[in-house]
Structure 1
Amino acid sequence: MLTAFDNIQMLWKASLLLAVVGCLSVTSQTFAQEDPPAEEPTAAAAAEEPAVEEAAAEEEAEPVTLESLSAAVETVETETGWLWTCIAAFLVFFMQAGFALVEAGFTRSKNCVNIIMKNLMDFSLGSIIFWAVGFGLMFGASPSGYIGTTDFFVDGMVDGAYDNWELAFLIFQTVFAATAATIVSGAMAERTKFSAYLLYTVAITAIVYPISGSWAWGSLYNGSGWLEGMGFIDFAGSTVVHSLGGWAALAGAIVIGARKGKYAADGTVTPIMGHSMPLAALGVFILWLGWFGFNPGSTTSLDDGNFARVAVTTNLSAVGGCISSMILSWIMFGKPDVSFALNGALAGLVSITAPCYDVSPMSALIIGLIGGVVCVLSVLFFDKIKVDDPVGAISVHGVCGAWGTLSAGLFAQEAINGTNGLFFGGGVSQLITQLIGIGAYFVWGFGVSLVIFLVIKLTIGLRVSEEEELRGLDITEHGMAAYPYLQSLESA
Structure 2
Amino acid sequence: MSAPAPPNFSTQILSGWMNDINASFVLQSGYLVFMMQLGFALLTIGSVRAKSAKSVALKNIMDAAFGGVGYFIFGWAFAYGDKVDDSGNSIGNPFIGTDQFGMAATDGSKYNTFLFQYVFAISTATIVSGAVAERVKFIAYALYAFFLTAWVYPVLTHWVWTTSGWASPTRLASQGPLFIGSGAYDTVGSGAVHMMGGVAGLAGAWVAGPRKGRFDANGKPVTMHGHNAVLYMAGVLLLWFGFYGFNPGTMGMLIAPDGSSFSGVVARCAISTTMGGCFGGTVGILVQLIYTKITTGHAVWDLYAAGNCALTGMIVITSGCATYEPWASALGGIVGGLIILPSSLFVSHVLKIDDPVDAFAVHGIGGAVGVLWYALMAKKELVTELYGPTPDGGQRHWGWWMGDYPNVLGANVIWVLVIFGWTFAMMVPFFYVLKLCGLLRISPEEEEMGADISKHGGSAYPGMENIYTEHEASVRNGGAHPKLGAGNGHTDSHADKISSLEAELAALTSRVNKMSPA
Q: Give the direction of change, closer, same or farther, for the CA distance of 1:380–1:152 in structure 2 (3 Å limit).
A: same
Q: What amino acid does structure 2 have at the position aligned with 1:73?
A: L
Q: 2:6 & 2:342 partners in 1: Cα distance?
A: 71
1:170 — aligned with what?
Answer: 114
Which of 30, 52, 59 lines up with 1:118 in the alignment? 59
CA distance in 2, matches of 1:181, 1:363: 29
Does residue 420 of structure 1 match 2:364?
no
Please give the alpha-carbon distance, in whole angstroms, between the structure 1 residues aligned to 2:469 and 2:327. Answer: 54
SS in 1 for 2:103: coil
The answer to whether the 8 Å contact 1:196/1:456 transfers is: yes
CA distance in 1, matches of 2:469, 2:38: 30
Deviations 1:297-324 (A, max 9, x none): 0011114212111100111011111111
Q: Is the 8 A contact 2:50 2:468 kept in 1?
A: no
Are residues 1:320 and 2:320 paired? Answer: no
Describe how 1:233-244 pairs up with structure 2 within 5 A.
Answer: 233-244=185-196
- Larger helix share, 1 or 2: 1
Q: Does 1:449 align with 2:427?
A: yes
2:213 matches 1:261: yes
Contact residue 70 and residue 147 of structure 2 kept, 8 A: no
Distance in structure 1 (CA, Å) of the matches to 2:122 and 2:446: 28
SS of corresponding position for 2:274: helix
The 3-state SS of whatever aligns with 1:149 is coil
Q: Please list the CA deviations of residues 333-376 of structure 1 after superposition, one character each: whole Å capped at 9, or x if unmatched.
A: 12221111110011011111111111111000001110111112
Contact persistence 2:344–2:358 (CA under 8 A): yes
Query: Which residue of the other structure, out of 346, 349, 360, is the alignment partner of 2:314?
Result: 349
Q: 1:357 to 1:156 in 2, by over 3 A?
A: farther
Question: Residue 151 of structure 1: CA displacement?
Answer: 1.6
User: Which blocks of at least 5 consecutive residues in structure 2 are unaligned?
Assistant: 83-90, 170-177, 256-261, 294-299, 385-396, 471-518
Structure 1 pair 168–266 and aligned structure 2 pair: CA distance change class (3 A): same
Alignment map for 1:65-104 (pairs within 5 Å): 69-104=10-45
Task: Decide whether the 8 Å contact of 2:69 with 2:146 is kept in 1.
Answer: no
Alignment partner, residue 433 of structure 1: 411
Verify the 8 A CA contact 2:167 2:184 in the aligned structure 1: no
Shift of 1:266: 1.6
SS of structure 2 residue aligned to 1:226: coil
Give yes or no for contact 2:434–2:440 (8 Å, CA) kept in 1.
yes
Please give the alpha-carbon distance, in whole angstroms, between the structure 1 residues aligned to 2:469 and 2:404.
Answer: 64
What is residue 505 of structure 2 aligned with on the other side?
none
Q: Deviations over 1:117-170 (max 9, x none)?
A: 100001011112111110010011163311111121115654xxxx2x211111
| Alpha-carbon distance change, 490 to 101 in structure 1, aligned in 2, over 3 angstroms | closer
Secondary structure in structure 2 of the residue aligned to 1:198: helix
Provide Cα deviations, 1:430-475, integer angstroms capped at 9, x if missing partner: 1011101101010001111001101111114311111111110001
Residues 320-329 or 68-77, more deviating: 68-77
Q: Work out whether residues 140 and 218 of structure 1, in 8 Å CA contact, stay in contact via their aligned partners in 2.
A: no
Q: 2:162–2:168: 8 Å Cα contact kept in structure 1?
A: no
1:143 to 48, 73, 92: 92
Structure 1 pair 289/61, CA: closer, same or farther in 2 (3 Å)? closer
- The one-letter amino acid paired with 2:96 is I
* TM-score, length-scaled by structure 2: 0.79
Amino acid corresponding to residue 315 of structure 1 in structure 2: T
Contact 1:146 1:226 (8 Å CA) reproduced: no
Aligned partners of 2:236, 2:18: CA distance in 1, in Å? 33
Name the residue aligned to 1:48.
none
Alignment map for 1:130-209 (pairs within 5 Å): 130-141=71-82, 143-154=92-103, 158=107, 163=108, 165-209=109-153
Structure 1 residues 317 and 468, CA gap change in structure 2 (3 angstroms): same
Residue 310 in structure 1 maps to residue 269 in structure 2? yes
Whether 1:483 aligns to 2:449 is no
- Cα contact 1:102–1:281 (8 A) shared by 2: yes
Match of 1:332 in 2: 291
Could you tell me how far 1:406 is from its partner in structure 2?
A: 0.3
| Change in 2 beyond 3 A, CA 1:484/1:146 | same
